[in-house]
Amino acid sequence: MSQVRGHNSRDARARKRRHKASRSVFFICLSVICFTIAVGALQLSLRRQESAYRRQEKSLQVQINNEKARAKELNELEAYMKSDRYIEDTAREKLGMAYPNDLLLKAR
């Protein structure tokens, strides 16, 4: 009978060890699953942020191109305003001046 009791207690201890081991494996697996979910959520968030940054980059590039075109127009206007042609055009339009050999037509 003592051998049966010793055998049962050994079985009980072995079952306890297996139960502890299976519980440890369960918590390790649960931890890995939670970590995987957290990494996936972070990755999704980063992809969305990257997409937003790409849209912003495209918008800013359009603005840069528009400002470059505007700068070119302003440089051309500045060059025109420094020219004799601008002085002549302004004198004709605002002051009504003309060269002596210009023909002037008046509306009736």
Q: What is the pLDDT of residues 18-70, one digit of tens each?
A: 878 888 999 999 999 999 999 999 999 999 999 999 999 999 999 999 999 99
Q: Domain coordinates of the chain in residue numbers?
A: 2-94
Q: Using CA atoms, how far apart are residues 23 and 16, in angstroms rounded to an integer?
A: 10
Q: What is the pLDDT of residues 63-80, one digit of tens each?
A: 999 999 999 999 999 999
Per-residue confidence (pLDDT) for residue 19, from 0 to 100: 78
Question: Is 54 in contact with 60 (CB distance < 8 Å)?
Answer: no
Query: What letter does residue 87 receive in the DSSP assignment?
Result: H
pTM (whole model) above 0.85: no
